[in-house]
């Protein structure tokens, strides 16, 4: 029987454990199959939107922007990390509807990419927040540090950090047969029949690791960086209210997408250490994990939307590429994209070089 860690797709079955029923006697908790009704549809939708959106980002950055700064490198790698995550969604959709039917090797490959993309996406958002902070608050002193070369080095370090953060989850990835439904399930199996305590240690470790690396540290860094950015914009003659709204949108979107899932994972950890111990609560936590993880996945789809409708520089390059494209679909899409939004995303203010001003989210 497999027990999943926090960052594993929570479409797998939790281990059946004895819980106290209303009469105080021990009883085996049976979990309701809530995810079958909505997870396949949501995952499929997020896959289509996330794939198209992030491929569009890659197209603009590679052929339009052509990697001129550290910011461009961050955007490129964030799109790649998001693609790693969204490309796992069709497999997870099939597993949520039926079972894992793609073998053990694909289980390790698909969910391994999911874990790495999960953490790398978060780390690149942190890197982009630091980049914006340096660009606005320490623009003069940071010009030498925000070069293309430094951006590539920072990207390589970020990928390595994301790879390390995915451990020990990716070590335990395997396909097992669920004891209750007799279905094949792909997940991080931490079961060791001779060491139950070891199993719970790694499961709880994974849950708290996701909360710390996936929410606490990113939110702390982002709040500090954007608080300094807002303070700087408010105390400059050319401060723009629209720029302040933009940085608040970035923090709000990230917070709304990931906070619910982190809270649900935290309650799952409390369940494992027996702070919460009832069948009803366990079923509620399982449903909450499925719903909130689907919300968290939407962040990979929202990033490209923020680029197009908020990032002025990105939008201009997209419109220019669509004008040159020989396809009619591109020309139709061009009419749906606002061509001028009053320099809304001039987040880098007048202290930034013209080439990097109004950069993406």
- For 11-35, write each residue's pLDDT tens digit: 344 444 444 444 444 556 666 666 6
In a domain? residue 308:
yes
Residue pair 328/281 in contact by the 8 Å Cβ criterion: no
* Residue-level pLDDT at 33: 66
Q: What is the CA radius of gyration of the chain?
A: 22
In a domain? residue 98:
yes
* Residue-level pLDDT at 84: 92
| Spans of the chain below 70 pLDDT | 1-35, 179-181, 189-200, 237-247, 307-315, 318, 322, 324-361
In a domain? residue 266:
yes
d(CA 328, CA 322): 9
Q: Both tokens of residue 317?
A: 């390059």
In a domain? residue 2:
no
Q: Domain containing 98 — which CATH number?
A: 1.20.1070.10
d(CA 133, CA 231): 11
In a domain? residue 356:
no
The string of DSSP letters for 188-257 reads E----TT-HHHHHHHHHHHHHHHHIIIIIHHHHHHHHHHHHHHHHHHTSTT--HHHHHHHHHHHHHHHHH
* Residue-level pLDDT at 148: 83
Question: Domain range holding 208?
Answer: 18-336
In a domain? residue 357:
no
* Residue-level pLDDT at 13: 40
Q: How many domains does the chain have?
A: 1
In a domain? residue 148:
yes
In a domain? residue 191:
yes
Q: Percentage of the chain with pLDDT > 70?
A: 68
* Residue-level pLDDT at 241: 56
* Residue-level pLDDT at 244: 66
**What value, to the nearest 5°, has the Cα angle with vertex 34 and ends 29 and 40?**
140
């Amino acid at each position: 029987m497999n027990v999943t860690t926090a960052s594993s797709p929570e479409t797998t079955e939790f281990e059946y454990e004895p819980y106290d029923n209303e009469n105080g006697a021990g009883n085996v908790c049976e979990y309701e199959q809530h995810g079958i009704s909505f997870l396949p549809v949501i995952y499929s939708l997020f896959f289509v939107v996330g794939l198209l959106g992030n491929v569009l980002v890659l197209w603009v950055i590679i052929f339009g922007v052509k990697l001129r700064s550290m910011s461009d490198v961050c955007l490129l790698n964030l799109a790649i990390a998001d693609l790693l995550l969204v490309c796992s969604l069709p497999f997870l959709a099939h597993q949520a509807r039926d079972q894992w039917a793609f073998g053990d090797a694909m289980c390790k490959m698909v969910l391994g990419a999911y874990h790495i993309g999960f953490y790398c996406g978060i780390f690149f958002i942190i890197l982009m927040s630091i980049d914006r902070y340096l660009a606005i608050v320490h623009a003069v002193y940071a010009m030498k540090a925000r070069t293309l070369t430094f951006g590539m080095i920072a990207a390589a370090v970020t990928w390595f950090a994301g790879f390390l953060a995915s451990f020990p989850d990716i070590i335990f990835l395997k396909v097992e047969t669920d004891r209750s439904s007799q279905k094949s399930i792909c997940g991080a199996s931490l079961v060791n029949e001779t060491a139950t305590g070891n199993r719970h240690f790694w499961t709880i470790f994974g849950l708290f690791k996701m909360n710390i690396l996936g929410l606490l540290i990113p939110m702390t860094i982002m709040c500090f960086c954007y608080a300094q950015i807002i303070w700087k914009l408010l105390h400059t003659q050319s401060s723009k209210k629209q720029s302040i709204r933009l940085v608040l949108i970035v923090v709000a979107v990230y917070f709304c997408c990931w906070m619910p899932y982190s809270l649900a994972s935290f309650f799952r950890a409390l369940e494992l250490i027996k702070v919460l111990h009832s069948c009803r609560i366990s079923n509620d936590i399982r449903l909450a994990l499925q719903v909130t993880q689907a919300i968290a996945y939407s962040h990979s789809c929202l990033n490209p939307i923020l680029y197009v409708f908020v990032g002025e520089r990105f939008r201009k390059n997209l419109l220019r590429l669509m004008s040159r494209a020989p396809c009619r679909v591109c020309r139709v899409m061009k009419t749906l994209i606002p061509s001028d939004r009053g320099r809304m995303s001039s987040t880098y203010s007048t202290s930034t070089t013209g080439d990097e001003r109004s950069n993406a989210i």
